[in-house]
């Protein structure tokens, strides 16, 4: 009976606290001024895992622009100025809009399904904002200004020589790093070769791009020197979507209130369970390490980026006082409320399979895309002609070279071996098309009357290269006299 009353009391306190904290913003004072977040330096198992992930992602970010694939393309390029896009070495053009649309649909579905199942793990482990802030800029801050308490003390003291030197050194390094990162990001847009030429050519030749880089680098500096977690809580739309996408079965960083509530300070040699106390000793370490300044014990919040810093901090405290770890852990609301352990559910498996299938489908489309996209169309208002034993159609072709290599192509008709194709207004026997070029022209298609079986026969025109390798195919109706095929 007493245990039931205790559980009701703790549940009521927890509910009341949840209602109270939602009336305030963790990073804002009651008078509306900014409450600066001094995040304590985290340490622990999950922090080490995040460090490994961040190092790998940062290494990829800085190395990929310098890599050129055997086909001459970079791995990624997003040249919006010249509408040149390269993904995983494959160039994309405006004619690939359906692939872009399919990719966007996959991204939307990925965000919905991934967040519904795994919560905001992307924000804490893979988001560039989090990686730059926690594993570059805040590391520098710890190195120059020290940990949380030293930072608070430094900000409170007068602008003496120590404060000017430390703040100046930190901001100077911040801007240098911001400028370097902007240069790397610029390489993804214009290419590394063009970026190098910007520094070897006369500055006046690229004055517009330099001004743009200068402005963006200062904006980058502003975000990580001052704006920081506000980008996640006030600007990023993903945090706002969290309340819609996450439900009681979503995995996220969660506080086990059933085990922890009945908070009280730690007393040595005390039997907390016998005293009716929970495992939370109200040390505040989970709040101190939080990069967005929230108290995870209040429940799911849009400010929480699932960085797991509070998990490491709490596990360290639990280890010191000989209590089980996992008071704060990855769990769903259902796991906490019903006391069930984490299990891989059917929903997690099915949603993951859907995501993998969609990504695999897009990969198949991309890998099977032809190097040169061909279209052959009847000229409006034109009709067939008869030249001896041949029926002749004049077609307009449109070829799009989707590679960075020139091609010499020849068109043949697969279903009619005695047919002939002639280029109009072109002395060459092949269609020469440059890298990334859209080329249009006209051809004469001649098919012997004896080989035709219908007045509107479906033919397949194939493009082959100099080595007779097939490049692309296109089907079109061939116009012929009405008496063909009539017995």
Residue 265: inside a domain: no
Q: What is the CATH number of the domain that holds 431?
A: 2.60.40.10
- What pTM value is reported for the model? 0.79
Residue 119: inside a domain: no
Q: How far apart are CA 95 and CA 470, in angstroms?
A: 20
Contact 430, 404 (CB under 8 A): no
Q: How far apart are CA 90 and CA 132, in angstroms?
A: 28
Residue 392: inside a domain: yes
Residue 446: inside a domain: yes
What's the number of domains the chain is made of?
1
**Is the per-residue pLDDT at 171 higher than 50?**
yes
Residue 441: inside a domain: yes
Q: What is the pLDDT of residues 305-359, one digit of tens each?
A: 999 999 999 999 999 999 999 999 999 888 898 888 777 777 778 878 888 888 8
Q: What is the pLDDT of residues 202-222, one digit of tens each?
A: 888 889 889 999 999 999 999
Average pLDDT score over the chain: 86
- Looking at residue 130, what is its pLDDT? 94
Q: What is the pLDDT of residues 236-293, one digit of tens each?
A: 888 777 767 788 888 889 999 999 988 999 988 888 888 889 999 999 999 999 999 9
Q: Residues of the chain with pLDDT > 70: what percent?
A: 93
Residue 459: inside a domain: yes
Q: How far apart are CA 461 and CA 419, in angstroms?
A: 11
Mean pLDDT for 371-384 is: 87
- Looking at residue 455, what is its pLDDT? 85
**Is the per-residue pLDDT at 118 higher than 90?**
no
- Looking at residue 456, what is its pLDDT? 87
* Token representation of residue 442: 């006209």
* Token representation of residue 22: 């939602």
- Looking at residue 21, what is its pLDDT? 59
Helices (H), 161-300: 161-190, 192-200, 207-222, 230, 237-245, 257-260, 285-288
Mean pLDDT for 407-436 is: 82
Contact 142, 39 (CB under 8 A): no
Residue 454: inside a domain: yes
Q: What is the pLDDT of residues 60-111, one digit of tens each?
A: 999 999 998 887 788 888 887 777 788 888 787 776 777 778 888 888 888 8
**Is the per-residue pLDDT at 197 higher than 80?**
yes
In which band, very low, low, confident or very high, does the pLDDT at 8 lie, cut at 50, 70 and 90? very low
Give the residues across from 462 on adjacent strands.
412, 473
Better pLDDT: 20 or 153: 153
Residue 188, phi then psi, degrees to nearest 5: -70, -20
**Is the per-residue pLDDT at 29 higher than 80?**
no
Mean pLDDT for 47-51 is: 96
Residue 400: inside a domain: yes
Domain residues for the domain of 460 are 372-479
Q: What is the pLDDT of residues 443-486, one digit of tens each?
A: 899 999 888 888 888 899 988 888 888 888 899 999 988 887 65
Residues 6+ apart with CB under 8 A from 241: 111, 115
Mean pLDDT for 41-45 is: 94
> Nearest Cα to 298, choosing from 325, 263, 267, 322?
263
**Is the per-residue pLDDT at 12 higher than 60?**
no
The least confident of 163-177, 216-230, 339-353, 435-449 is 339-353
Residue labelled with tokens 């198992």: 45
In which band, very low, low, confident or very high, does the pLDDT at 27 lie, cut at 50, 70 and 90? confident
**Is the per-residue pLDDT at 7 higher than 60?**
no
């Amino acid at each position: 009976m007493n245990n039931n009353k205790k559980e009701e009391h703790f549940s009521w306190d927890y509910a009341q606290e949840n209602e109270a904290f939602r009336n305030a913003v963790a990073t804002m004072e009651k008078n509306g001024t900014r409450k600066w977040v001094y995040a304590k330096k985290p340490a622990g198992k999950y922090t080490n895992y995040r460090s490994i992930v961040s190092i790998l992602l940062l290494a990829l970010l800085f190395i990929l622009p310098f890599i050129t694939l055997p086909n001459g393309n970079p791995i990624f390029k997003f040249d919006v100025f010249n509408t040149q896009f390269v993904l995983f070495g494959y160039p994309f053009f405006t004619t690939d809009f359906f692939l872009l649309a399919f990719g966007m649909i996959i991204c939307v579905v990925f965000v919905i399904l991934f967040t519904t199942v795994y919560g905001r793990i992307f924000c804490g482990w893979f988001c560039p904002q989090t990686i730059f802030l926690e594993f570059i800029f805040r590391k520098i801050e710890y190195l120059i200004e020290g940990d949380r308490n030293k930072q608070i003390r430094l900000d409170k003291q007068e602008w003496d020589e120590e404060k000017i030197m430390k703040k100046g050194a930190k901001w100077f390094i911040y801007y240098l790093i911001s400028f370097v990162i902007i240069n790397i990001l610029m390489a993804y847009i214009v290419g590394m070769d063009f970026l190098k030429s910007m520094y070897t050519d006369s500055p006046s030749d690229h004055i517009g791009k330099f001004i743009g880089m200068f402005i963006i680098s200062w904006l980058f500096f502003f975000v990580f020197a001052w704006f920081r977690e506000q980008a996640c809580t006030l600007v990023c739309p993903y945090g706002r979507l969290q309340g819609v996408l996450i439900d009681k079965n979503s995995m996220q960083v969660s506080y086990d209130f059933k085990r922890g509530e009945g908070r009280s300070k730690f007393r040595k040699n005390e039997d907390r369970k016998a005293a009716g106390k929970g495992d939370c000793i109200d040390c505040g370490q989970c709040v101190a390490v939080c990069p967005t300044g929230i108290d995870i014990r209040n429940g799911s919040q849009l400010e929480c980026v699932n960085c797991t810093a509070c998990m490491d901090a709490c596990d360290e405290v639990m280890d010191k006082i000989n209590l089980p770890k996992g008071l704060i852990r990855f769990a769903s609301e259902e796991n906490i409320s019903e006391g069930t352990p984490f299990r891989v559910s059917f929903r997690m498996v099915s949603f993951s399979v859907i995501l993998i299938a969609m990504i695999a489908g897009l990969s198949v489309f991309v890998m099977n895309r032809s190097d040169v996209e061909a279209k052959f169309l009847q000229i409006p208002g034109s009709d067939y002609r008869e030249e001896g034993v041949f029926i002749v159609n004049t077609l307009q072709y449109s070829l799009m070279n989707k590679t960075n290599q020139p091609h010499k192509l020849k068109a043949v008709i697969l279903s009619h071996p005695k047919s002939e194709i002639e280029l109009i207004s072109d002395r060459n026997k092949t269609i020469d098309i440059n890298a990334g070029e859209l080329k249009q022209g006209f051809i004469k298609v001649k098919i012997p009357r004896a080989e035709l079986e219908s007045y509107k026969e479906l033919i397949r025109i194939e493009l082959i290269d100099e080595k007779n390798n097939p490049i692309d195919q296109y089907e079109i109706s061939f116009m012929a006299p009405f008496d063909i095929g009539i017995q």
